[in-house]
Amino acid sequence: MAKVFVSTVIDAPAAQVWAVVRDFNALPQWTPFVAESRIEQNAKPDQVGCVRNFRLRDGGTVRERLLSLSDYDFAMAYAILDSPMAVRDYVATLRLIPVTDGDRSYVEWTADFDCPPDRERELVDQIGRGFFGAGLRALQARFARR
């Protein structure tokens, strides 16, 4: 099973960062790689079980199901249903932890999935650097203290 782990610290309180990322349909507002997104069947974007269907800027389409959402823990988990990537049993978690020193946020984005062994390194890099890393850098820029 392949594993991806990316983390960073953002110069903003966890509650402020969570207000941006908790909306399961808001990827186009805070990530550089999603062009548009919609929640299928008019479900609410914070309803566990809802499915987001989004188009990547490179044209690919991804469908993901929200597995859990906790405002108390500042955490969500989701699974890929359909994707142009050759992944199976993909489950990701996005979690924030308040950093009391400076009222900042520790953010980690992880994923576990199966894939063809000859593509594992490529997919781990693509997901870790291309998606998770890019998303976290965009959040850092959004909340950069000036």
- pLDDT (0 to 100) of residue 144: 87
**Model confidence pTM above 0.85:** yes
Q: Tell me, what amino acid is at 106?
A: Y
Residues 72 and 16: their CA atoms lie apart, in Å, by 13
- HSE-CB at 84 with a 13 A cutoff on CA atoms is 9
Which residues does the chain have with pLDDT short of 70? 145-146
How many residues make up the chain in this entry? 146
DSSP output for 87-113: -EEEEEEEEEEEETTTTEEEEEEEEEE
Residue in this structure with the two tokens 């800027």, named with its chain if needed: 57
Instruction: Indicate if the alpha-carbon torsion angle 20, 23, 27, 29 is positive or negative.
Output: negative
Residues contacting residue 66 through CB under 8 Å, at least 6 positions apart: 24, 46, 47, 48, 49, 50, 51, 52, 76, 77, 78
- pLDDT (0 to 100) of residue 8: 97
133: DSSP letter:
I
Class of the domain covering 2-142: alpha beta
Contact 118, 21 (CB under 8 A): no
Contact 34, 55 (CB under 8 A): yes
Contact 32, 132 (CB under 8 A): no
